[in-house]
Amino acid sequence: MEGRELIVNRAARFLRDGDLVNLGIGMPTQVANHIPEGIEIQLQSENGFIGIGPTPSAEEWDHDVVNAGGQPASILPSGCTFDSCMSFGLIRGGHVDATVLGALEVDQEGNLANWIIPGKKVPGMGGGMDLVAGANMVIVTMEHCDKKGNPKILKKCTLPLTAAHEVDYIITELCVLHVTPEGLVLEELAPGVTAEEVQAKTGADLIIPEHVGCMV
């Protein structure tokens, strides 16, 4: 297991039995396919669903059921649908136990930039600002570096912020980082990856404990 599959599999194992969880657009939606056996999670989609299930096959897909990114989704027998007012009432009311979302940049203070690159057209912020502020736990899933090899985990975000001091965990293909008041703690490493390699690819100083766990 490597790359994106490793990231979403690890994110799924942060979720607890009975949690109400929101999955962001893109890579986070794949977390739905990796929920551990024996754990019952209610997945909430900001376009008005609770009870989102695994990605369906083309033959099984009901074209009226899509996730927040407009991708095919399934809804479990216990699921329900509602309007955007109810959806954001749940989010802003603090009823979402965890949210998993992507990022352009994250920094050592738990600041998140995930909605715009200056000069490029985007459809808008979506529900990211509400989710990051309203969820009880914020998990960022992303590649460790951008396509040019530049770190996406920094001492201070350079892009416009989605939210300040809200990120709890960062999961990449290299490691799991815990955002603490003291800084970024390296909690787990991917198989074959060293702490020195992670530090070299990170634009912030890491706190490296004597024992670092394994992501798998």
Q: Which residues are catalytic?
A: 46
Give start and end residues of each alpha helix (H) in 47-108: 84-92
What's the distance, CA 23 to chain centroid?
Answer: 7
What is the CB neighbour count within 10 angstroms for residue 213? Answer: 12
Amino acid code (one letter) for 12: A
Pairing of strands 112-113, 42-45: unpaired
Contact 71, 55 (CB under 8 A): yes
Give the CA distances from residue 69 to residues 28, 39, 139, 182, in Å, rounded to whole numbers and listed in that order: 11, 25, 18, 35
